[in-house]
Amino acid sequence: MTVSFILNGEDVSAEAEAGERLSSLLSSRFGLRGARGDCLSGLCGRCIVLLGGKPVNSCLVPAFRVQGAEIVTIEGFGRTDDYRDIMAGFRKAGFEPCGFCDSARVLVASAIMEEDPRPDDSLIVERMSAISCRCTQPSALIAGVRAAAEIRERRVFGHAGA
């Protein structure tokens, strides 16, 4: 079946096999390897993409479900000002996600800041818990997302909140 959707801002179409997962479609048809569908059970979080602005495990999403939807992968998100804000915030806080979780942490941080421009600690920890990686302590995650939120607020609104 042909599936048409918006991928990183572009209208695309691809042939999808019955039962094929979004992570496989992104990798095999579009060469996008940032959403790595390793576990195929939604447990690790490596395959997170933004589907309609919300983080989802692409290894759990049947390809046919993205018909007409908007998908953003780390490859597309990496070209945005929000990506630069997040990376600057992570660096400022001394937070360096590893190669296992880096793309997922960035996309989830973006979704957190969309949900709440000034997220509290519990929201950050709750949302980041979707990613199973032990490279970072929760305090570093919190500091990284908060620093990114401050940088984003300065860029978007021209000031930092109190």
Q: What is the mean pLDDT of residues 41-64?
A: 91
Amino acid 46: pLDDT: 85
Contact residues for 31 (Cβ-Cβ < 8 A; gap 6+): none
**Percentage of residues of the chain with pLDDT beyond 70:** 96
Q: In the predicted model, is pLDDT for residue 64 greater than 80?
A: yes
| Strand bridging mode 54-57 / 48-51 | antiparallel
Q: Is the pLDDT of residue 2 over 90?
A: yes
- Residue 106 confidence class, pLDDT cut points 50, 70, 90: very high
Q: Model pTM? A: 0.91
Lookup: tokens for 98: 């590893």
pLDDT at 161 (0 to 100): 56
Between 81 and 34, whose confidence is greater?
Answer: 81
Q: Residues 62-91: what's their mean pLDDT?
A: 97
Residue 161 CA: distances (Å) to CA of 82, 124, 126, 149: 17, 18, 23, 10
